[in-house]
Amino acid sequence: MPQIQPDGYLAIPPTGKGNAVLVLHAWWGLNDTIKSFCTRLAQSGFVAFAPDLYHGKVADNISDAENLGKALDTNYLQAKAEIADAAMFLTERVGQADQGLAVIGFSLGA
């Protein structure tokens, strides 16, 4: 039974199917750069999902990014669970739960 989509950005290729790529955002959060990257992956034939580990918050300066990163570090067990949920959702979404997925991380997400 497929999971409900976690908070984040899902990009699907024109064919509607493809191999799974989990994208972990940088310390800025799930911003337009990460969404655009997911869209480019989808245009290349992949189903890409970037979970929103900051729950809607996006930094626009270094100080805010540091604070968001520190808050995530404090709640690392929650972040770990959210990443696991995102991976499960994505592999179920593409119907390849037994084949794994690729993971791309930027900065904080690497």
Query: Would residue 1 count as lying in a domain?
Result: no
Burial of 38 per CB tally in 10 Å (0-12, 13-18, 19+): buried
- Express as a percent the part of the chain with pLDDT over 90: 78
pLDDT of 110 > 80? The answer is: no
What is the model's pLDDT at position 108?
76
* Averaged confidence pLDDT in the chain: 91
Query: Would residue 43 count as lying in a domain?
Result: yes
Structural domain including 83 reads 8-109
What is the model's pLDDT at position 1?
40
Domain with residue 48: its CATH number is: 3.40.50.1820
pLDDT of 79 > 70? The answer is: yes
